[in-house]
Each structure stands twice: as structure tokens, then as C-alpha cells.
């Protein structure tokens, strides 16, 4: 799995951090969010805790956008035997949502 190529950032590991920010002048209407893939340290990720209450802090309209973005990511990647899943989540004070996704074997 470690040598499995990552099309989002071919030189990095399969763990990615995605940043969702609200688009300006949309009155909180979310279109498919802009996805920015940022490499992160897998070892640091494994040591971090994922508090499920963080997702409860996200307003419903943002929650749907996050779910849709992960589904869209899986459709675009279209990898046989692998899928992207949420590995961590954090709400920022400015309304942005930081989402960590990781490629795992689907079975």
C-alpha cells in the first residue's frame, strides 16, 4: 500500500488534507468545493485523534458539501480496490473545514 501511487500528488503518500472554504458572495450556497490537496505526515496522522464531535459542529449545508466532495473524489480517482475515506476532520474559526482523507483498500 505504501508504494501505491497517488494521482492527486504523485510524489506524496496516499494521505491528503483537503481544505474547504466558503466561496465569496454565495450567501452560504455551496457548489462543489474547491479541493486543495496538501501532503501530510502519515506518522503524525496516525498519532492524531479524530473527535467525531467535530463533524457535529459543521452546519448541515457544509456537511453535505464535505460528503459530496469525498464522493466526487472517489468518482474522479476511480481506483479499483481502493477508495478515499475520512481520516480526520477539524473546523477552523474562519468557517473553513479541514478534512483529512486517506486511501484504503475497499473490500
d(CA 55, CA 97): 9
Q: Which domain holds residue 55?
A: 15-105
Asked whether residue 3 is domain-assigned, the answer is no
Half-sphere exposure of 101 toward its Cβ, with a 13 Å CA cutoff? Answer: 24
Asked whether residue 83 is domain-assigned, the answer is yes
pLDDT computed for residue 8 by the predictor: 42
pLDDT computed for residue 1 by the predictor: 35
Asked whether residue 2 is domain-assigned, the answer is no
Chain segment 53-96, per-residue pLDDT in tens: 556 666 666 667 677 777 777 777 666 677 777 777 666 666 66
pTM of the model: 0.47
For the cut 70, the answer to whether the pLDDT of residue 9 exceeds it is no
Asked whether residue 6 is domain-assigned, the answer is no
pLDDT computed for residue 101 by the predictor: 72
Domains held by the chain: number: 1
Asked whether residue 60 is domain-assigned, the answer is yes
Strand partners, 82: 105
Chain segment 38-52, per-residue pLDDT in tens: 455 556 555 554 555
Amino acid at each position: 500500500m505504501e508504494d501505491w501511487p497517488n494521482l492527486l500528488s504523485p510524489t506524496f503518500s496516499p494521505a491528503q488534507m483537503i481544505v474547504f472554504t466558503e466561496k465569496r458572495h454565495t450567501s452560504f450556497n455551496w457548489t462543489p468545493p474547491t479541493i486543495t490537496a496538501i501532503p501530510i505526515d502519515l506518522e503524525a496522522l496516525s498519532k492524531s485523534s479524530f473527535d467525531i464531535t467535530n463533524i457535529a459542529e459543521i452546519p448541515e449545508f457544509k456537511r453535505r458539501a464535505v460528503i459530496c466532495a469525498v464522493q466526487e473524489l472517489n468518482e474522479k480517482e476511480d481506483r479499483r480496490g481502493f477508495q478515499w475515506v475520512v481520516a480526520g476532520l477539524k473546523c477552523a474559526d474562519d468557517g473553513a473545514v479541514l478534512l483529512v482523507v486517506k486511501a484504503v483498500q475497499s473490500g
